[in-house]
Amino acid sequence: MTTRMLLRSGHVVSMDPAVGDLPRGDILIEDGTITAVEPEIDADVDAEVLDMTGRIVVPGFVDTHRHTWEAPIRGCAPDATLDDYFVDVLDTFAPVFTPEDVYAGNLAGTLECLNAGITTLVDWSHINNTPEHPDAAIQALKETGIRAQYAYGSANTSLADYWFDSTIAVPGDDVRRIRAEHFASDGGLLTMALATRGPGFCTDDVVQQEWGLARELGIPITVHVAMGRLAGRFGMVRRLHQMGLLGPDTTYVHCCYLGEDEWRMVADSGGTVSIAAQVETQMGHGWPPVSQALEHGLRPSLSIDVVTTVPGDMFTQIRAAFGAERARVNADCWQANLPVPASMLTARQMLEIATLNGAHVAGLEDRTGSLTPGKRADVVALDATALNMAPVHDATAAVTLGADVSNVETVIVDGVIHKRDGRLLADVDRARRLVEESRDRLLAAVAAGKRDT
């Protein structure tokens, strides 16, 4: 029996040029697939009808790089630099994380995503201290019903062992087990990637092992590069090129200090880019390179990165990237007495980067990222009657420059409603209790470790 849902009379911003924007439009969803986006669909259609009057309807946001496990230590490092983060988080809290902590973090962190209109997540999970840790992370992803790419990362039991010319590769047998047990098919809500540390952080042998493992299993690769002046000096992309490892299956996160030759290498190899603008400006990674990516023919995406230091919503990232890039370009033009280029970032580009580009980077553009008939129904409706959005002159600007999490009224993933009338359809109290218990357990473990030393 076909299940139908009709979103009626919303201001549809489809992010599909063939569909366009509909100031008053309807969206028909059948068995989780968008089947029609039109100005008006037959009023007699047999479907559950959701009245979208006064709402702006957009594709769900896509977060292409988030360390979701860190939710229990949210805000623990508000003033941290990148160097501080390695010590305060990866060398302090990460070693004492249990599988229960990872489960609590992924559960609360993923519900946070859904609440904020993020319907697709790349979970960059570098907390696999035991084989039970990835199982716990994946279980939480499954329970929330988000669309996610689980990126299996290294353990983090010692900063010296895992981030200074590390000789420890991710355990191939366990990665193969996770692939076989949880991701035998690549067609479900959850897919798999490999989160790697890369040259400079690991020896060349480890880099070769990890890239080879990912390609043996047919899963994509995601790696941090050129963040902060130190990582910029590593020449990570250049080194990967010398090792013959560049390819279209790799996402490069941050990219703040890439050289011109490295940008060309990424573009020529078909690689993709994820930018975490708030973290990059706030923690000293470097200027968010949105315009540089676009200038090299790439389609940059956005990501949250760490809630230890920044908010976990996409509205923050959109505005951080938009403001930082325009500030940088304006300053350069003023200093050189040049006119502002016609290629200056626009509000509409930012929405495309946060939705369609994100789906492209996550390898899911055939399924999500735009409100296109034939794609799966990952849809967000924003209350545009609220005072921070009304009156609407430009729907795209209202979303990118006016909206916040409070406006996220309806969230649909794969045709399933996860937020209705501004409330998550989930056991939020349980998630909050688990993540608070995890916080207390982690603080006690860290304190005990300090006493022992």
pLDDT tens for residues 291-320? 999 999 999 999 999 999 999 999 999 999
Neighbours of 155 (CB within 10 A): 19
- pLDDT of residue 213 exceeding 70, the answer is yes
- pLDDT of residue 335 exceeding 90, the answer is no
Number of H helices and E strands in the chain, helices first, is 16, 17
- The superfamily (CATH) of domain 4-57+371-421 is Urease, subunit C, domain 1 (2.30.40.10)
Mean pLDDT of 137-154: 98
Distance CA 415, CA 371 (A): 12
- pLDDT of residue 185 exceeding 80, the answer is yes
Report the percent of the chain where pLDDT is more than 90: 91
CATH number of 61-361: 3.20.20.140
Mean pLDDT of 127-156: 98
Residue pair 113/440 in contact (Cβ under 8 Å)? The answer is: no
Domain segments of the chain as ranges: 4-57+371-421, 61-361
- pTM of structure: 0.97
| CA-based radius of gyration for the chain | 21
Which pLDDT belongs to residue 130? Answer: 98
Residue pair 147/415 in contact (Cβ under 8 Å)? The answer is: no
